[in-house]
Structure 1
Amino acid sequence: MADSNSTTTQLKSDVLLEQMKQHLTTEAGKEITKKINLVYQINIAPKKIGYEEIVYTVDLKKGEVKKGPYEGGKPDATFSFKDDDFVKVALGKMNPQIAFMRGAMKIKGSLSAAQKFTPDIFPKPSKM
């Protein structure tokens, strides 16, 4: 079932978040969940932050990734990215602090929780 948008945009981030979903089921992924124990909401826009965003919940308490806003209260931190910038940060090609300072990443919620959201929590990319 598609969103209210007539076109469902295929984001590069979809692939990464799908890989992360698989990663969290592995032993390494379970370690990350135990270590971080926070919930993140990620809003990813195809071109411009704030427009046509696709929302993901990365629940590092339960160890799951799903499309849609977090339903268990408020996430510890919410990030907003453009698709390309999210991919760069997740793959470690752009430093999260620099992304934030340049306005490529917006953060709401706990900054200390946000600081634990690093490229280390993502599976190493096989090939993209």
Structure 2
Amino acid sequence: KNLGLTNFRGAKPTKEEVVIAKNYYNKEELAQLNALVEQYLIFATEQARRRVPMTMNDWIKKLHGFLIINDRNILHDAGKISHELMKEIAEKKFDEYKQGEATQDVDFDEVALQALESAKNKLKK
């Protein structure tokens, strides 16, 4: 149902929403993600307020330390599927989903029209 998405705007997911990983998270996973992001942003804000010079390598090291302190796994490589391939797969699945949804709508309309015709015929008799 809804391509496995748990978070999206409106009644149905959009093509743009199917390529965003956090849209597949449940409420607990989202709460955990939001807590981690909030904690890290507070840390980063304090670094800026204290005018601590930071390079990108410094931020990477701090982030790794932050994740370790929070007992989180660290992804050490780019994974098995590129972002572009994931996007292509997700969009293809979305197109199939929309096609199936359109077919269901047509079938429902046909059934509704047949029921209406049947009711009219019964009234004529």
Larger RCO: Structure 1 or Structure 2 (Cα < 8 Å, ≥ 6 residues apart)? Answer: 2
Under a length normalisation based on structure 1, what TM-score does the superposition of the two structures give?
0.25
Bigger proportion of residues as strand: 1
- In our comparison, the structure showing a higher alpha carbon Rg is 2
More helix by share: 2
Q: TM-score, normalised by structure 2?
A: 0.26
